[in-house]
A and B are shown apart, each in its own frame.
Chain A
Amino acid sequence: KAGVTQTPRYLIKTRGQQVTLSCSPISGHRSVSWYQQTPGQGLQFLFEYFSETQRNKGNFPGRFSGRQFSNSRSEMNVSTLELGDSALYLCASSWTGTRLYEQYFGPGTRLTVT
C-alpha cells in the first residue's frame, strides 16, 4: 500500500504571496489532518478533514485554510504569507480520525518564506 504523499517537498515563497500544499492519504483513509512544525512552537494541529468536511480546527488565523476532495486528497492554503509561516507542514491520514486510529504521516513540505 502506498504511503501518504505530500507535494511539493520544498517551497520558497516571498512575504505576501500565497501557497497551496497537497496531501494524498493512504488509499481507504478518510481522515486527513494537517500540522505545522517550527523550532519554537513544535508540532501544532492546524485542522482535520473527514469526508470533505472540516471536523476540527486548531488555533491558527484565518489565513490558513484547507479543503478535502471526494477522493480524500486534501489541500491547505496559506494566504498573505508571513516570515513566521516558515515551517515544516505535515499531513497525516487515518481511517476515521485521531482519537481511535493510528496516524500515518507524510514526509512533509518544508516552506521557507523570505
Chain B
Amino acid sequence: KNEVEQSPQNLTAQEGEFITINCSYSVGISALHWLQQHPGGGIVSLFMLSSGKKKHGRLIATINIQEKHSSLHITASHPRDSAVYICAVGNTDKLIFGTGTRLQVFP
C-alpha cells in the first residue's frame, strides 16, 4: 500500500462544476503540499498546510490531521484548470508523493 493515496485517478468535469480531489496518507507528516503539473512537466506549488484550511482564489485546501486526510476543492472549474494535481507529504526532510489526479475540464 502506498504511503500517500489519491482519488480519483482521473476526473472529467464540465466548466463551472465543483471539483474535489482527495488525499490520504499513512505516515507522520510535518506538512502536506498540493501541487499542479501542466503538460510539459512544470510543477507549481498550490498549497502547503499543516492544519485547517487555506484558500487561494477558486482553490480551497483542507487537512484533517487526526484522520490523515486532505482535500483539494476547485470551485467554478475552468478549462485552464486541466492539469495533474499531486498531493505530497513532508516526512522528515523529504517529500512523498501521491500518484496524481488527472483533471480535464471541458467547456
Contacts and interface: CB of A to CB of B under 8 A. Distances in A.
Interface residues of A, number: 26
A55 interface: yes
Interface stretch (B10-18, B72-80, B92-100): B92-100
B33 interface: yes
Nearest to A90: B43
B94 A56 contact: yes
Contacts of A44: 97
Nearest to A103: B45
Contacts, number: 64
Interface in B13-67: 30-31, 33, 35, 40-45, 48
B44 A58 contact: no
Contact of B93 (A37, A42, A56, A107): A56
A107 B39 CA distance: 11
Given A105-B44, A105-B45, A108-B41, A99 B97 contact: no
B19 to A, nearest CB: 21
Contacts of A88: 41
Contacts of B97: 42-45
A99 B30 contact: yes
A7 to B, nearest CB: 15
Interface of A: 33, 35, 37, 42-45, 48, 55-56, 58, 88, 90, 92, 97-105, 107-108, 110
18 contacts: A37-B41, A42-B98, A43-B86, A43-B88, A43-B95, A43-B97, A44-B97, A45-B94, A45-B95, A45-B96, A48-B93, A99-B90, A100-B30, A100-B31, A102-B45, A103-B35, A103-B45, A108-B43
